[in-house]
Amino acid sequence: MGSPAIVESAVTDPKLVGERRQQIIRAATKLFSEQGYYGTTIQHVAREAGISVGLIYQYFRDKDDVLFLTLKLVLETYEKEIPVALEGVEHPLERLCVALGAYCRVVDRLRDATVLTYRSTKSLRADRRTFIKEGEERTNRLLEACLRACISGGLMRPLNDYLLVYQYVLFSHAWALKGWALRDRYALDDYVEEGIKLLVEPFLTEKGRAAIARIRRRRRRAE
């Protein structure tokens, strides 16, 4: 068996493969989220995507391939967009807040796929479950690096950074998992700000509190 990340396609044109797979993944994500992975067939996905079953098998070998690429897309988006959001941001505390906001914005854009990650990762074959877990750990390390820079810079007191990062992850994912309760109460930016108040501010040192006040004043002037 080859690399778990490789999903073979009978079509060799990379542009066409990318476009058609995105179409199929969008349909599959909707159905997997609504009906569950085991309750959804390739026939259902083809009908939702408006294509033939045979065409799906030109781009995927089986339903496991479809689910795997759906979940892989979520992790790749975190790994791509969090570093982009951090470009040009130098202050450690601001980097942590920006990273948390970027994480939440990816979740907001990929809400169905985020929910699907919780429901259906266990449905993947074992090597692919491991691959997805490793991808999550890489994303966590992006947040962990920001958090550790705050601690080492004297902006936050020493703490269990591993567990706090998971609190950041769960907070971000809650925007999708508990959206029925949260999105009627908060706009996304307000939700992120409340998260910072709950999950960053209580751990700030005096130096950190002064720094976050300066950051907020600068942002207000820029608005």
The pLDDT tens digits along the chain (223 residues) read: 557 777 888 888 889 998 999 999 999 988 988 888 899 999 999 999 999 999 999 999 999 999 999 898 888 999 999 999 999 999 999 999 999 999 999 999 999 889 988 888 999 999 999 999 999 999 999 999 999 999 999 999 999 999 999 999 999 999 999 999 999 999 999 999 999 999 999 999 999 999 999 999 988 888 7
Burial of 172 (0-12, 13-18, 19+ CB in 10 A): buried
Torsion of CA 174, 175, 177, 178, to 10 degrees: 90
Is residue 192 within 8 A of residue 100, CB to CB? The reply is: yes
Which amino acid is it at 92?
P
- The dotted CATH code for 7-61 is 1.10.10.60
Estimate to the nearest angstrom the gap between the alpha carbon of 118 and the chain centroid: 12
Secondary-structure class of domain 63-222 per CATH = mainly alpha
Which amino acid is it at 158?
P
Is residue 204 within 8 A of residue 156, CB to CB? The reply is: yes
Beta-bridge partner residues of 204: 156
Tell me how far apart the alpha carbons of residues 194 and 192 are, in angstroms, rounded to a whole number. 5
Torsion 207-211-170-100 (CA) sign: negative
Q: What are the residue ranges spanned by the domains of the chain?
A: 7-61, 63-222
Both structure tokens of 46: 């083809």
pTM comes to 0.88
